[in-house]
Amino acid sequence: MQQNQETALDIRGLRTEFKVGGRWYPAVRDLSLDVAENETLAIVGESGSGKSVTALSILRLLPQAGARIGAGEVLFEGRDLTKLSEREMSSVRGNSIAMIFQEPMTSLNPTMTVGEQIAEAITIHRGASQADAMAEALRLLKEVKIPSADSRLHDYPHQFSGGMRQRVMIAMALACRPKVLLADEPTTALDVTIQAQVLMQLDELKEAYGMSVVFITHNLGVVAQIADRVAVMYAGEVVELATVDALFANPAHPYTVALLRTMPRADRATESLEPIPGSVPPVTAMPEGCAYASRCPLKQPSCEDKRPELLPFDGPGHQVRCPVRLEQTRG
């Protein structure tokens, strides 16, 4: 569906490492992903699979010490973000690439009114006058459907509900008309009703601005709701990449299949939930071969020897990192 669009952000061979006990260990391993203009790419995976580290690496917001980008490039508007100076990078942040974090309260300033904060972002990044910036802040609050926006503009963050704060975060992220929006679990803490509103709003705004959205979540229901394409991450790598329809209709990787079986549905009976045995390996104990092998029902002896590659599966743009599955479908 998005094939004809220009690529907005192109991650190639990204490797992000953390220093643990004097040694560097990769938390994101040779990750390649691209997002087109006006496309929503969802990244899904269990806790600890490397979703947040990927987003933080793109914006170079990793901790100062004990973390580094060990390899790869992040191409955006003809430049490699990993090579920019800190000053150049800070003009990219919040300007052309914006991020929404999971916990909105920690990223809002409690001592400034909501209007002042949005206006500040606008004056810093766009050099608008204070009056223009306030007018724009009001427009944005209305755009994210804050009721009685005129008066709420002068309220402080603690006077807003969780859902409203999350929408304020979206308004701030949009203040600079970013080309790319990185949203890290932006709805996980919200009630389903508010989540539904935020998801639909994000989708409308994406269309209106022609933005690219990278949407991080561990909720497959949310993925089905919002994504055009989906990258399933496990132990720091992409194990499956597909359009949203192909992923749900024809999941290829045993991990994707297993994830789909863990989610109980509100709209129909799930006979039995099947938990995935075991857990994601820690970055310090990554196995040699396939990282999922120890939990995998399709495991064969060869799986533990060699790390599998991400290879084309049937259907356009569908890729999977599982030789056993590929063999099954060919044979």
Ligand X SMILES: Nc1ncnc2c1ncn2[C@@H]1O[C@H](COP(=O)(O)OP(=O)(O)OP(=O)(O)O)[C@@H](O)[C@H]1O
Nearest C-alpha neighbor of 175 from the set 128, 215, 106: 128
Q: Between the CA of residue 23 and those of 27, 66, 72, 89, what are the distances in Å?
A: 13, 10, 20, 27
Cβ-proximal residues to 206 (8 Å cutoff; 6+ apart), any chain? 38, 40, 181, 212, 213
Mask: binding to ligand X, 20-59, rule CB under 6 A, as x and -? x------x-----------------x-xxxxxxx------
Does position 145 interact with other proteins (CB under 8 A)? The reply is yes
Cα separation of 255 and 244, whole Å?
16
State how beta strands 180-184 and 97-100 pair: parallel
Partner whose binding site includes residue 162, from other proteins, ligand X, Mg ion, none (CB under 5 to 8 Å by kind): other proteins
CB of 293 to ligand X, least distance (A): 18
Compute the C-alpha angle 326/329/331, nearest 5°: 100
Residues 170-229 that bind ligand X (CB under 6 A): 218
Number of Cβ within 10 Å of residue 182's Cβ equals 27
- Minimum distance of other proteins from residue 102's CB (angstroms): 12
H-only helix segments in 61-129:
86-92, 104-107, 114-126
Nearer to other proteins, 77 or 204 (CB): 204
Binding mask 258-297 for other proteins (x = CB under 8 A): xxxxxxxxxx-xx--xxxx--x------------------
Q: Residues 274, 223: contact at Cβ < 8 Å?
A: no
133 binds ligand X (CB under 6 A): no
Residue from the set 192, 304, 309, 329 that interacts with other proteins by CB under 8 A: 192
Would you tell me which residues interact with ligand X (CB under 6 A)?
18, 20, 27, 45, 47-53, 63, 66-67, 218, 282-283
Would you tell me which residues interact with other proteins (CB under 8 A)?
46-47, 145, 147, 161-164, 191-197, 199-200, 218-225, 227, 244-245, 248, 258-267, 269-270, 273-276, 279
